[in-house]
């Protein structure tokens, strides 16, 4: 094992055991955390799901302002950007996720905002000004969350408008990279039963890599978000909440850089490097090259443009003491302009960059969910109906600026999609009175019916090194298929005491089939790929011990895949890809979360995750464009990797939180560290790899300082304090091996630090 695994992790576990024994002394009980993982408000400790919950104060301590901020915070969860698009987020849980992001394929981890499913990964790096809580549900959630929750689900819950009184909060943040962030929240009661709340946030930050060439720097961030909420208590039993959200994201892509250059490759002589750190004599640079601080672009590096408009309408009616009816209506419209800027520090014959493309994507969705919840002395249940539809349009114009040898009109790749989904679901729990209600039996079912349509006009001509078109033919193709699935689940819980319980569960989930918008042929596009199915077996424990001063939650799981969906390169470049089904795969693992209130002032949290994944077959076969002629296809057999993509064997997080009351306010200090083991980025050999990493952060704050009628909070913070260089993406560029380009990596943020000042009045 790695040094961290051999030393740091056992020491941390031992430390947790010591803290547990010390907790027999007087110390405060840990606060109860309320979640809505099963469509109703419950204590996190009562829900038989492996959940990591982040309340608002924890999010503020960790400086989490968007979904990417959760990266490495939750063991067995990997969150990173899609290569070349800083605004597109990939989510993986327990080794299950979407490796390639396309409008023709769905995510494997469901993302929800205030109960509304977000159907596309494009534009999901948006910031939300007033998040109340984030819930991370690990493991398949096929019964209550539907067809695209094979890996799990993430719930983002925002604060509602409150008729209880006027409230105001202003937050200002400054930091290195010229970071500036402002967040304003104001709540206005209109009557005793109505209120409106407005929230606005703006942030901008300089790039992480300087560009000495044309256009902007790489890694620039500029975000804006406005939210308007309206709440109406119609009477004692009915309430309506409406939210409108508008987000703008104007980021530039991160630099994707060559890891090393092999001057002995057959065609290495056509490469010209603008980056001065590459040896002038063409000698190879070692693998694992350092993150570049600057580079030179031959094409203009452009600012992306993401526009998001979302509407949510929630209606709740307590029909009587037993029944509650909920209606959740959502509409979301996303428009994205994005430049894919990869390998901009090298050119071929000084003519154009290797990969530098423009995409324009529009995506809109509508969903309606009806829920009927009930609760009696021995039974609780939820049943519902769900409808979802989306449409998308994607234009990929290839090289952004073209060149004198490449006619711009030839660079056309247009894809449209239209999808609908219908589902009926139910889940009921029986706690028999005859068994003193210590046993709980839960049965869940969901029936899904999905239709997926896609149309592609691929007139995009691939050009050779001299600017001449290749012989890969253009094509027009259509895809139209239906999928239906019945997903049951069964859970048994036993209460060991009033404060601890064990559970066992069997859960099924599925993700519908589809096609690839980067397919290399009409036949492959129209054939598409089949649905994937997953069965999960899990044993878990949840307990509040030592008079509530120790909280320990753990889960053991084993999951089996059937027809695992994976993207593989089937064309002459890494961007020409199809999805294939791999016969079967297995995932086994564990995770635990240990929180200890050591003293009245000091709390420690340790979380750990382990994954062991493998494929049933050793190889996989598919059709690939013939490298010699560029036309026709060859049957290719590829060796599979040992593990699934983005499935690190070990991951962990550790935090110490110290709070002390002062005469003029409250002092808080937080020290946190996140570890993630190495992980492959693909499943067919050879593949890229993410190196292991340990990221350390710290926060020091003074809060509850009385200023007039309000309170002031001052916070100093830092992330990646040791400035570790780590990959968030790494593509093994087999297509460019003959050119001497070996590996293409995207690095995460360097060390960042700053200060936040907040004024609150309520």
494-521 tens-digit pLDDT = 999 999 999 999 999 999 999 998 887 8
In total, how many domains does the chain have? 1
Q: Which residues contact 17 (CB under 8 A, 6 or more apart)?
A: none
Burial-class residue 178 by CB neighbours within 10 Å (0-12, 13-18, 19+): exposed
Closest Cα partner for 645 from 564, 590, 578? 564
Task: Identify the CATH number of the domain in which residue 564 sits.
Answer: 2.40.170.20
Closest Cα partner for 16 from 675, 540, 498, 546? 546
Q: Is the pLDDT higher at 570 or at 455?
A: 455
φ, ψ for residue 460, nearest 5 deg: -80, 120
Q: Is the pLDDT higher at 488 or at 355?
A: 488
- Look-up of token digits 């534009």: 123
Residue 586, strand partner residues: 560, 614
Cα separation, 455 vs 459, in Å, equals 13
Closest Cα partner for 515 from 531, 502, 501? 531
Q: Give, as one character, the DSSP assignment of residue 7.
A: I
Domain limits for position 530: 3-761
Cα separation, 682 vs 698, in Å, equals 33
Q: Which residues contact 671 (CB under 8 A, 6 or more apart)?
A: 655, 656, 696, 697, 698
- DSSP one-letter string for 104-115: TS--SEEEEETT
Cα separation, 546 vs 552, in Å, equals 11
pLDDT in tens, 21-80: 344 444 457 888 889 888 888 999 999 999 999 998 888 888 887 788 887 789 999 988
pLDDT for position 687: 81
- Look-up of token digits 């593509």: 731
pLDDT for position 331: 97
Residues 208-226: what's their mean pLDDT?
89
Burial-class residue 85 by CB neighbours within 10 Å (0-12, 13-18, 19+): buried
pLDDT for position 396: 78
Return the structure tokens found at 619. 């190889």
Cα separation, 254 vs 343, in Å, equals 11
Asked if residue 4 lies in contact with residue 673, where contact means CB atoms within 8 angstroms, the answer is: no
φ, ψ for residue 52, nearest 5 deg: -115, 120
pLDDT for position 629: 53
Residues 254-268: what's their mean pLDDT?
72
Q: Note the pTM of the prediction, 2 decimals.
A: 0.89
Residue 198 pLDDT > 90? yes
């Amino acid at each position: 094992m790695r040094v961290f695994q051999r030393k740091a992790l056992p020491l941390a576990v031992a430390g947790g055991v010591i803290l547990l024994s010390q907790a027999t002394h007087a110390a405060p009980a840990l606060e109860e955390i309320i979640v809505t993982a099963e469509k109703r408000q419950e204590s996190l400790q009562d829900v038989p799901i492996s959940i990591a919950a982040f309340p608002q104060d924890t999010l503020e301590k960790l400086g989490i302002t968007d979904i990417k901020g959760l990266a490495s915070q939750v063991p067995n969860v990997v969150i990173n950007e899609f290569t070349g698009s800083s605004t597109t987020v990939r989510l993986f849980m327990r080794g299950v996720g979407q490796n390639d992001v396309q409008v023709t394929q769905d995510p494997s981890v469901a993302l929800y905002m205030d109960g509304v499913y977000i159907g596309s990964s494009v534009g999901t790096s948006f910031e939300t000004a007033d998040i109340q809580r984030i819930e991370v549900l690990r493991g398949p959630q096929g019964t209550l969350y539907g067809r695209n929750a094979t890996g799990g689900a993430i719930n983002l819950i925002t604060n509602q408008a409150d008729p209880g009184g006027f409230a105001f909060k202003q937050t200002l943040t400054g930091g290195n990279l010229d970071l500036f962030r402002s967040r304003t929240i104001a709540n206005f009661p209109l009557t005793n039963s109505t209120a409106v709340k407005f929230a606005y946030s703006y942030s901008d930050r300089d790039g992480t890599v300087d560009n000495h060439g044309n256009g902007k720097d790489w890694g620039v961030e500029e975000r804006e978000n406005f939210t308007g909420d309206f709440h109406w208590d119609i009477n004692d039993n009915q309430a309506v909440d409406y939210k409108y959200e508008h987000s703008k994201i104007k980021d530039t892509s991160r630099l994707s850089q060559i890891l090393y250059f092999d001057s002995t490759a057959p065609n290495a002589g056509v490469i010209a490097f603008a980056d001065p750190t590459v040896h002038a004599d063409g000698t190879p640079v070692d693998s694992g090259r350092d993150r570049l601080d600057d580079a030179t672009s031959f094409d203009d590096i452009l600012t992306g443009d993401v526009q998001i408009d979302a509407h949510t309408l929630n209606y709740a009616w307590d029909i009587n003491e037993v029944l509650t009816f909920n209606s959740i209506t959502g509409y979301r419209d996303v428009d994205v302009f994005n430049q894919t800027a990869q390998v901009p520090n090298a050119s071929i014959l000084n003519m154009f960059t290797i990969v530098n493309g423009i995409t324009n994507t529009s995506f809109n969705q509508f969903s309606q969910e009806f829920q009927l919840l009930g609760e009696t002395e021995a039974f609780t249940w939820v049943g519902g109906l769900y409808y979802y539809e989306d449409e998308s349009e994607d234009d990929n114009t290839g090289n952004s600026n073209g060149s004198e040898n490449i006619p711009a009109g030839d660079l056309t790749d247009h894809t449209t999609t239209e999808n609908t989904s219908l589902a009926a679901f139910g889940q009921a729990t029986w706690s028999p009175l005859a068994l003193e209600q210590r046993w709980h039996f839960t049965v869940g079912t969901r029936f899904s019916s999905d239709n997926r349509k896609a149309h592609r006009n691929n007139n995009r001509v691939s050009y050779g090194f001299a600017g001449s078109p290749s012989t890969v033919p253009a094509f027009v193709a259509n895809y139209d298929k239906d999928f239906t699935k019945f997903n049951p689940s069964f859970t048994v819980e036993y209460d060991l005491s009033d404060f601890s319980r064990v559970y066992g569960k069997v859960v099924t989930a599925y993700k519908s089939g589809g096609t690839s918008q980067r397919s290399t042929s009409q036949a492959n596009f129209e054939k598409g790929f089949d649905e994937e199915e997953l069965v999960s077996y899990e044993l878990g424990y949840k307990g509040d011990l030592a008079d509530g001063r120790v909280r320990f939650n753990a889960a053991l799981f084993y999951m089996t895949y059937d027809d695992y969906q994976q993207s593989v390169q089937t064309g002459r470049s890494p961007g020409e890809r199809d999805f294939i089904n791999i016969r079967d795969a297995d995932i086994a693992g564990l995770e635990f979360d240990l929180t200890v209130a050591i003293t009245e002032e000091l709390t420690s949290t340790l979380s750990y995750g382990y994954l062991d994944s493998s494929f049933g077959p050793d190889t996989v076969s598919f059709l690939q464009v013939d490298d010699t002629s560029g036309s026709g296809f060859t049957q290719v057999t590829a060796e599979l990797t040992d593990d699934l993509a983005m499935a690190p064997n070990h991951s962990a997080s550790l935090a110490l939180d110290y709070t002390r009351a002062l005469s003029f306010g409250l002092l808080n200090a937080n020290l946190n560290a996140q570890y993630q083991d190495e992980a492959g980025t693909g499943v067919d050999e050879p593949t890229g790899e993410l190196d292991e990493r340990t990221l350390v952060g710290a926060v020091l704050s003074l809060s509850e300082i009385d200023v007039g009628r309000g309170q002031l909070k001052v916070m100093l913070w830092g992330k990646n304090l040791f400035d570790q260089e780590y990959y968030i993406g790494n593509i093994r560029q087999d297509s460019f091996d003959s050119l001497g380009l070996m590996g293409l990596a995207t690095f995460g943020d360097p060390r960042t630090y700053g200060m936040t000042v907040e004024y609150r009045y309520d």
